[in-house]
Chain A
C-alpha cells in the first residue's frame, strides 16, 4: 500500500511531466515550428476570417515548399493550429489562453478584426507571447503600450486621409482656395469608423478645409437619406463615408436614389460591400481606400510581385475573382515570422520578439517596419477609384496606375 506522500510525489511528478512536456513539445515539434491563431470561421466575421486563414495557409505552404525556416543551420517547417472564435471577443480570449496554456504555442498570429485583436492582445501580453497580427487596424491597439503586439497593416486613421489630400490637390489644380473646399462627413459611431474620422479631421485641419456636415451614424441605422438630403442642400466638394459594409452599401444605394451630385465621394469597405456588382454604373468614380492592391509595384522574396501573389492565390483557392487584401496581409504576417526566426536564430520568445521589432523588409504586400508601438509605419494606404466597374489605383501618385476621374459622372 502506497503511503499518502508517495501518492503526492507520483501525482506531482506526473503533473510536472505533463506541464513540461506539452508546451516544450508544442512550440517546436521535431522539425516543425507551431504557430497558433484564433480565427473567425463562423459568425459574422466568417467571410473575412476565411480570407485571412487562406492567406496564412498559402504563405505557410510556400515557405515549407521552399525549404522552410532556417534556424541554427537546420530547416524547420511551419504549422498553424487554428481554433474558431465564432466572431466573439470573449471566445477569442479563451482560445488564446487555450493555445498558450494547453497547446503550448509560443508564437501567435492575429485573429480577424480589431475587436477580436483587442480581446486577445491582453492575453498574449500576459504570457509574453509575441503576436504578429494582420487584421486589426484600430489605432487604439497601438496606444496601450503593448510590447508583444505587431501589425503589418496600416492603422485605421490613415484609411481616408489620402482622399482629403487628393481633394486638396484637385482644388489646387482648379484654382480653388483650399479654405473654400467643403467636406461632408458621415461616420458610423463605432471604434473603427471613429478612428478613420480622427485621421480625416486631422488632415482637414492641416489643409485648412471646411467641414459642413459631420454626422455620426448609429450602429443599427440602415437609412442615410436624411444625411444625404443635407448633402444635396449644402453641395459639398467631397463626401466621406465610413460605416463598414452596411454603410458602404446604404450610401451607394441612396446616393444613386437621391441623385446626389457631389463631384467626389470616398468611402471605406467598397470591396466587402460588393458595391460594383450591386449597383454597377452608379458607383463609378467612387474612391475607396485599400491596404493593398494587386496592381501595386511592390516585390518581395516570397511570391514575387503583388500581381504574382494575386495569380498564385487565385490558382490555389477557387472562388476568388479578386484577391482580398485581408488575405495578402495575412500572408505577409507569416513572412514576418519566418524572417524573425531566421534573424533571431533561435526559438526563445523574447529573442524572437526583439527580432520582430527590428523587422525591416520589403514584401509583395509592401514594406514592413514597426514603430515602437508595433504598427507598420513603412506602408502607406492607397486610394482606388472605381472606373468602368474596375478598381484602379489613383493615389498616392507614386503608385498610381491611373489618373483620377474628376468630377465623378453622376448616373
Chain B
C-alpha cells in the first residue's frame, strides 16, 4: 500500500475531484447530472404554477402533509415486516404486497358480512400469521439455504399463485371496505382542508402498533430466548445451529410475523384505498424502496423513510403532476443510494 496515511486523508479532503477518479464514481456523477436535468425539465411552467397555488392556498400544504404522513405510516408498517425477513433470513420477499392484499380481503370479507372492518385487524393478524407459517414450511424452508435467485423466484411464484387464487375466489373487481368514519373539514385563514378520521385512525394504529411492536421486539430480541436465537441466527446461522438453536423455528416465526404485519397493513389499505387481486405489486415496490433506503435492522430509519416517502409522493403528485408521483419514489431511492455510495467511498478511502 503505497500512499501514506496523510496522503489518503488529503485525498479525502479534496472531496469531489478525488472520488471522481474511479469509474464507478464517474457513473454516480453521470446519474446525478441526469437527475438534475430531469428535475429541471420537470419544473416547467406547470410545476411553477402549482407551487404558486401552494403559496396562495397554503392550507393545501397541511392537506398534503397529513395525507402523506397518514399513508406513509402504512408503507412503513409493511416495510418493517420486509426489513425483518430480509435482515434475519436474507430472503427478499417478493410476495410482500400479496400478503397486504390478503389482509385487505380479510377485512373486506368481514365488511361484506356486516362486521365492522376494524375487527379485521386482530383476525388478519392471527390468520396471516398462520398463513405465513404454512408458506414457510411449504416453500420458504426449502429455498432459504439456496442462493438469492432461488428465493426470489420462489417468493415471486408465491405472489403469482396468491394473485390468481384471490382472483378465483373474489373475482377481479376492485373492492373496498367502508369504515363509516366521517371526514372533518377544518377552516383556517379563509381556506380549508379536510382529514378523514379513518386515515388518522390508521395512522394512530400504525403508530401505536409500530411503537408497541418496536418496544416488544426490542425487549423480545434482547431478553427472550427466541430473540437471542433470532439475533444469533441473523449473525451466523451455522454457528447458531451448532450451539443448538433451532434456526428453522426462528425463521418460521420471523416469516409468520412478517405475514401478520402485512395482513394488518392490508386491513387499513382496504379501508383507505382500494384492493384488487393484482394490486399487491404497488405495496411490494414501496416496501422495497423503504427498506433499501433505510437499511434493514434500522427501525427508526424504516419509519422515517416510510413517512417521508408518503409526504414526498403527495407533494410531487401535486407539484409535478400525478405522472411523477411514483417516479419520485424511485428517484428518491436513487438519490439515497448515490449519497450513500459517496459517503461509503469516502469512508473506504479513510480506512484504506
A residues lining the B interface (CB < 8 Å): 42-47, 186, 189, 214-218, 220-227, 229-230, 232-234, 245-246, 248-250, 253, 256-259, 272-274, 278-279
Contacts and interface: CB of A to CB of B under 8 A. Distances in A.
Interface in B306-322: 313-318, 321-322
A224 B172 contact: no
A222 B50 contact: no
Contact of B323 (A46, A217, A256): A217
The interface size bin for chain B is 35 or more
A322 to B, nearest CB: 14
A223 B196 contact: no
Nearest to B63: A229
Contact of B279 (A45, A220, A229, A272): A220
Given A225-B63, A229-B314, A257-B183, 10 more contacts: A221-B282, A225-B67, A225-B314, A227-B317, A229-B318, A232-B63, A257-B196, A257-B198, A258-B183, A258-B194
B326 A256 contact: no
A218 B178 contact: no
A259 B185 contact: yes
The dominant DSSP class at the B interface is: helix
Contact of B281 (A189, A220, A257, A278): A220
B53 A233 contact: yes
Contacts of A216: 321-323
A257 B201 CA distance: 14
A47 B171 contact: yes
Interface stretch (B5-13, B131-139, B270-278): B270-278
Nearest to A189: B323
A226 B53 contact: no
**Ranked 6 nearest A-B pairs via Cβ:** A226-B317, A215-B322, A216-B323, A245-B174, A44-B172, A222-B273
A222 B274 contact: yes
B42 to A, nearest CB: 13
A47 B172 contact: yes
B172 A226 contact: no
A198 B324 CA distance: 20
Interface string B178-214: 1000010100000000101011000000000000000
Contacts of A278: 176, 178
A259 B194 CA distance: 7
A226 B282 contact: no
B60 interface: yes
13 contacts: A216-B321, A221-B322, A222-B273, A222-B279, A223-B273, A232-B63, A233-B56, A234-B53, A246-B276, A248-B174, A249-B174, A249-B176, A257-B198
A221 B326 contact: yes
Q: Which of B63, B183, B185, B277 has the most CB of A within 10 A?
A: B63
Contact of B167 (A44, A186, A272, A273): A44
A249 B177 CA distance: 11
Contact of B326 (A220, A232, A245): A220
B57 interface: yes
